[in-house]
Amino acid sequence: MNLHGKDIKVFTANSNPAVAQEIADVLGCKVCNSDVRTFSDGEIAVSINESVRGSDVFIVQSTCEPVNNHIMELLIMIDAMKRASAGRITAVMPYFGYARQDRKAKARDPISAKLVADLITTAGADRVLTMDLHAPQIQGFFNIPVDHLMGAPILAKHFGKKFKNELDDIVVVSPDFGSVNRSRIFAQRLGTPIAIVDKRRQRANVSEVMNIIGDVKDKKVILVDDMIDTAGTLCNAAKALVELGGAKEIYACATHGVLSGPAIQRIQDSVIKEIVLLDTVPLSEDKKIDKLTTLHTAPFFAEAIERIYEDKPMSTMFDGV
């Protein structure tokens, strides 16, 4: 593609090259030639093997595990593009790491999400394209434009097809109060009621379910969250919905499948029938279990990239989803 003297160039580092390739395929271009490698002492080296002078550059990189390596890969690649006179540099971050450290929970806590935003800006990015930030106000941590895509409409479309003739039997459930707004948007898309699991967190990565707000008795339930990390909150919520609420079947969905620590075993042992994830975080082979279904985000990122490139609005992007 070539518009007003600029061309699109898609690059990728090492976090999710498959998504970058799919984005390039949708755009009808190729993933450009670059090398991102790690020296024996742990330092990261980047080589850009073709000209980017004046180009509209899009670097696809989720800052998922190993988080710090992937952040440094992104920063060094942005710096390389800036020094090579790229026309505009967009960091395409399907998953934004450190997003949960968005405020001071207690005295002397850092706000690491703000620090990462500053690093990306200082490295030379002109804008950021991301999906489902854990806290939407993180957009305000950047002094550059942030295009924030939503995963809920994509997931809702999937479940709308799956339960096309059973929507009267569906209740959308938020696993905690933090996901209520996301679940409400999801429920509006499906035209179903909403319920909330009220829990009290005892310590990090441990939660205790206290109560269920709403009627889920004899219903098929869809739990909606932005990410699944250790899966403790999700599996506890699912258990409570069956044991306390009398739910008939439990499904779940999330944009980001971080799935760290005991997550896979917890999901295997849970009452959840199926979990639908987006491919913002790549799943290793040992995490690809039958209960997990992955949907592709490349068509949506590709459309967003086209709109950025052509200076078109992003606000209408999900109207038809």
Amino acid, res. 127: R
The token pair that represents 7 in the structure block:
């061309």
Whether residue 305 has pLDDT greater than 90: yes
Please state the domain extents for the chain: 2-149+298-309, 152-295
pLDDT band at 205 (very low <50, low <70, confident <90, very high): low
Which one of the listed residues 9, 199, 219, 220 is annotated catalytic? 199
Do residues 174 and 182 lie in contact, with contact meaning Cβ atoms separated by under 8 Å?
Answer: yes
Q: Give the largest CA-CA distance in the chain.
A: 62
CA–CA dist 135, 127 (Å, integer): 18
CATH topology of domain 2-149+298-309: Rossmann fold (3.40.50)
Residue 202 identity (one-letter amino acid): Q
For a pLDDT cut of 90, what percent of the chain falls above it?
A: 85
User: Is 217 among the residues known to form the active site?
Assistant: no
Express each pLDDT in 18-66 by its tens digit: 999 999 999 999 999 999 999 999 999 999 999 999 999 999 999 999 9
pTM check: above 0.85: yes
pLDDT in tens, 88-119: 999 999 999 999 999 999 999 999 999 999 99
The reply to whether 2-149+298-309 and 152-295 are identical in fold is: yes
N-to-C CA span, the chain:
26
Pairing outcome for strands 56-60 and 146-149: unpaired
Is pLDDT of 207 > 60? Answer: no
Tokens of 22: 């799919």
How far is Cα 82 from Cα 92, in angstroms, rounded to an integer?
A: 16
Tokens 């505009």 correspond to: 88
CATH code for the structural domain at 152-295: 3.40.50.2020
